[in-house]
Structures are given as C-alpha cells and as structure tokens.
C-alpha cells in the first residue's frame, strides 16, 4: 500500500463516518460537524491525488488538487459559518436544536384567520 492509497482510504473512512452521522443524528449541531468531517475526507482524497505523478517523469507533486483543496476549505468555512448563524436564528425562534418532522406544512398548521371569515361569507351567500 502506498502513501496516496493510505490517505485515500482514511479519507473514504471519514466520509463514511460523516455521512452516517449526518443522516442518523437528529441534532443539527452534530449534523454540521458531520458535514465538516465529510468535507475533510473529500479534501484528503483530493490531496492524495496530487501524489499521482510521483515516480513518473515529473517528480513534483501536482499543484492543481492542492489549489482545489484550498478553494474547498474556503467554501467549507463559509458554509459552516452560514449554517451556524442560521442555527442560532432557528434556536432563538423555536428553542429547538432538532429539525421538525418531515411535514412541509409544519409551522402553518393552524387555519389562518382569513379562513374563519371565509366560512362566515359562505353562510351569508347561502342565505341570499
């Protein structure tokens, strides 16, 4: 097993762990951490690919994947910051650290006041 493969395997392991946690844990904070672990796994695999050319005619490591990892890290940091800011807003608004169940109508279940007036209007119309 060469070094590149070793890194790639560790990266794959991190992705697996992150994905499992992302899907299975309900806590949003832990989901955000899980995404970061997944991201690190992907970056590790990317870095390992820059060793591709070693031992061939060009002994220098390939700079392109490293540039990609740098960009990826910047994206991951911004995304994490945004997720944390949103989570704080969500927590302040609901006191919850867990996403609601898979109901798209969540939070708007109550019938709006307009519905009540609608029902009254219907009765009026029927009388005429």
Partner 1 sequence: MSTEQLPVLLVLAPLMAGFAAYLLPARFIKVLVTAAFVSVVIVLVPLYEYLTIAGPLRTSLGGWGVPLGIDLYMDGTGFVMLSMTTVLLAAICIYSHSYFGNGPRATRFWPMLLLTWASLNNLFITGDIFNMYVTLELLGLLSVGLIALAGTPAAYAASLRYLLAALCGSLFYLLGVAMVYANSGNLDWVELRLYLEGGPSAAIALGLITAGLMLKAAVFPLHFWLPPAHANAPAPVSALLSALMIKASFYIAMRMWLWVFPGSINTDLAAPFLGVLGAAAIIYGSVQALRQRRLKLLIAYSTVAQLGYLFVFFALSVEPGSATPALQAVVMFAISHAFAKAALFMCSGAIIHAYGHDWIDSLHGCAERLPAVTFAFAIAGVSIMGLPPSGGFIGKYMLILTAAEQGKWFWAAVLALGGILAAAYVFRVLNIALCTGKSVAVGQSVPAGLIWPAWALAVVAMLLGLLASGPLEIVAIGAPELDLFRTMPVDSP
Cα 84 to Cα 78: distance, rounded to the nearest angstrom: 10
When binding is defined by CB under 8 A, the residue of 21, 29, 66, 90 that contacts partner 1 is 90
Q: How many residues bind partner 1 (CB under 8 A)?
A: 50
Is there binding between residue 49 and partner 1 (CB under 8 A)?
Answer: yes
Nearest to 41 by CA among 68, 17, 64: 17
User: Shortest approach of partner 1 to residue 74 CB, angstroms?
Assistant: 9
Q: What SS3 state is found at 27?
A: strand
Length of the chain: 128
When binding is defined by CB under 8 A, the residue of 27, 45, 56, 66 that contacts partner 1 is 45
CB atoms near residue 15 (< 10 Å)? 18
Is there binding between residue 126 and partner 1 (CB under 8 A)?
Answer: yes
Which residue intervals of 1-128 are DSSP H helices?
3-24, 28-49, 63-94, 113-127
When binding is defined by CB under 8 A, the residue of 52, 70, 73, 77 that contacts partner 1 is 52
Cα 38 to Cα 22: distance, rounded to the nearest angstrom: 9
Residues at the contact surface with partner 1, assessed by CB under 8 A: 15, 19, 22, 28, 31-32, 35, 38-39, 42, 45-46, 49, 52, 62, 64-65, 68, 71-72, 75, 78-79, 82-83, 86-87, 89-90, 93-94, 99-100, 102, 104-108, 111-115, 117-118, 121-122, 125-126
């Amino acid at each position: 097993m060469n070094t590149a493969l070793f890194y790639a395997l560790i990266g794959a392991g991190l992705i697996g762990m992150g994905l499992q946690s992302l899907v299975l844990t309900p806590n949003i904070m832990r989901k955000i951490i899980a995404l970061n672990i997944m991201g690190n796994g992907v970056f590790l695999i990317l870095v390992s690919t820059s060793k591709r050319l070693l031992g061939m005619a060009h002994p220098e490591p390939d700079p392109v994947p490293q540039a990609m990892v740098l960009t990826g890290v910047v994206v991951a940091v911004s995304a994490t910051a945004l997720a944390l800011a949103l989570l704080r807003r969500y927590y302040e608004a609901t006191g919850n650290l867990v996403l609601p169940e898979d109901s798209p109508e969540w939070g708007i279940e109550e019938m709006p006041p307009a519905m009540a007036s609608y029902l009254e209007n219907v009765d009026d119309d029927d009388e005429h």
